[in-house]
Amino acid sequence: MATLIEMPKLSDTMTVGTLVNWLKKEGDPVANGDMIAEVETDKATMEVECFEDGVLIKQYCKEGEEVPVGGAIAAIGEAGESAPSVEAPTETATPEVSTPETTQPASETDTPVEPTIETPAPTPSEPVVIASSNNERVKASPLARKIAESKGIDLNQIKGSGPNGRIVKADLEAIKEAVANSVQSSEAKAPAPAAIEAVPTLEALDIPVSNMRKSIASALVASKTQAPHFYLQIEVDGAPLANLRKELNQRLADLPKEHGGVKFSVNDLTLKASAEAIKRVPAINRSWEGNTIKQHPNVDLAFGVAIDDGLVTPVIRSAENKSLRQVSNEAKSLIRKARDKKLAPNEMSGSTFTVTNLGMFGISDFYGIINPGNAAILSIGATIKRPIVNDKDEIVIGQTMKIGLSGDHRVIDGAVGAQYLLALKEILETPALMLV
């Protein structure tokens, strides 16, 4: 008798999942432990495991369709067996229209191959458009579909280089490179124009909302409306931290990993410092439980990572007990997983405190929205050179860093937030303290 494979509940907040890619086709043999499909949840893209031996006799949904948790996606049975009838999922896939996309993540690294199409060279003011020949659904990664939609490229005309002929980002980049070379060749032969026409860069967009973006929106609206935010800011001398980082990297960055080689980022150092400061002011490490306020025994430290669909917050467990090297290694591993959409739900949940850093973008000061379940979120700004007054009342060039804190006034008061920022300031201005 055939067994139904259902859409699993892969996170606490998940209600639907989008089937983005079939890893097994109808008629393929499957075994217990095989991965049969990739599903986009509200947090990440994850694989669906089969727990039966047999043959995949029926796929109940197409790539790109949303299926509610518990809805059937496939049937496993014996060869030649009829699949049971189930209610078809509602089609909610994004219509394939030509709408520009402004953000492209660098998460696919497949080796590009030359596409098997020929495209006439466009003039510099014309968009790259390849006429569609049919409406058949093709196998393509979600990122490849977005790029194709933004450039008006017909995926039916492209031969994919990914697994089972799946079209990936590199295949579309190969087209862009070929067209660019063709344009350059045409421009070299053509006479210089009398005037250069301005190319419009602003266009109306209707960007589909992913499951992850929906989840982010829901959580942040709940946090901002339910938690009464208050805001504090402190200015820190960033020179000692910059000098420590420079010295550590000069001595360690060129060593092989097996000999202790590592390169620390400002983010690594501020994550470690924020965990150390919580040891001094544990009242910041609390959460609102309705009838009680819970103080947590460990610092489960979340930090923001920007990806294509929004912001995710992976968690370093018991960060207060980990060395700078351990914090750095774990943060880098989690960042890679986040950008590849490989974070497991338990790697993004259960935080007690959050750090977000926009300093690398040149942002000097800002305030984050509190992560649900936390009492506060720390906002790290850029270290900026500017005139300061030193201990001798002299005006000199200094390096200042502004750090903001958003607090939940149900859980903590301004005094607790101020004590925490003062503890953090002392550690950042004497950074050797976090190494002992």
Query: What is the 3-class SS of 20-58, one letter each residue?
Result: EEECCCCCCEECCCCEEEEEECCCCEEEEECCCCEEEEE
Rounded Cα–Cα distance for residues 61 and 21 (Å): 11
Strand (E) or helix (H) holding 14: none
List the structure tokens of 117: 């199409």
Residues with a catalytic annotation lie at 409
Question: Distance (Å, rounded) from C-alpha 229 to C-alpha 297?
Answer: 24
CB 215 within 8 A of CB 42: yes
Residue entry with tokens 């990806």: 307
Q: Which helix (H) or strand (E) holds 64?
A: none
CA angle 319, 313, 67 (to 5 degrees): 135
DSSP reduced 3-state for 245: helix
pLDDT digits (tens, 9 = 90+) for 394-407: 999 999 999 999 99
- Each residue's pLDDT, cut to its tens digit, for the chain (436 residues) gives 788 888 887 776 678 888 888 999 888 999 888 888 888 876 677 888 888 888 898 889 888 888 888 888 888 988 888 888 887 654 444 333 333 333 333 333 343 433 334 334 333 333 333 333 344 456 777 677 777 777 777 777 777 776 667 787 777 777 766 655 555 554 555 555 555 555 667 888 888 888 778 888 888 899 999 999 999 999 999 999 999 999 999 988 888 877 778 899 999 999 999 999 999 999 999 999 999 999 999 999 999 998 887 889 999 999 999 999 999 999 999 999 998 888 888 899 999 999 999 998 999 999 999 999 999 999 999 999 999 998 899 999 999 999 999 999 999 999 999 999 999 999 999 998 888 7
The topology under which CATH files domain 101-207 is Dihydrolipoamide Transferase (4.10.320)
The answer to whether 234 touches 403, Cβ cutoff 8 Å, is yes
What backbone phi and psi angles, to 5 degrees, belong to 203? Answer: -140, 155
The structural architecture, per CATH, of the domain 3-77 is Beta Barrel (2.40)
Q: How many residues are listed for the chain in this entry?
A: 436
Token pair of 435 as six digits: 């190494």
Task: Report, in this order, helix, strand and coil percent for the chain, each rounded to 5.
Answer: 30, 25, 45
Alpha helices in 84-204 (DSSP H): 142-151, 169-189
> Is residue 113 within 8 Å of 171, Cβ to Cβ?
yes
Euclidean distance between CA atoms 124 and 241, whole angstroms: 48
| Main-chain dihedrals φ then ψ at residue 47, nearest 5 degrees | -95, 145
The bridge status of strand 3-6 relative to strand 72-77 is antiparallel
Residue type, 142: P
Classify burial at 191, counting beta carbons within 10 Å of its beta carbon; exposed 0-12, middle 13-18, buried 19 or more.
exposed
Contacts of 201 (CB under 8 A, 6+ apart): none
How does DSSP classify residue 288?
A: E
> At residue 340, what is the residue type?
D
Contact (CB, 8 A) for 215 and 13: yes
Q: Tell me the pLDDT tens digit for each residue of 101-122.
A: 333 333 333 434 333 343 343 3
Residue type, 168: V
**Of 353, 350, 347, 396, nearest in space to 378 by CA:** 353
**All structural domains of the chain with their residue ranges:** 3-77, 101-207, 211-435
What's the CATH superfamily of 211-435?
Chloramphenicol acetyltransferase-like domain (3.30.559.10)
CB 428 within 8 A of CB 240: yes
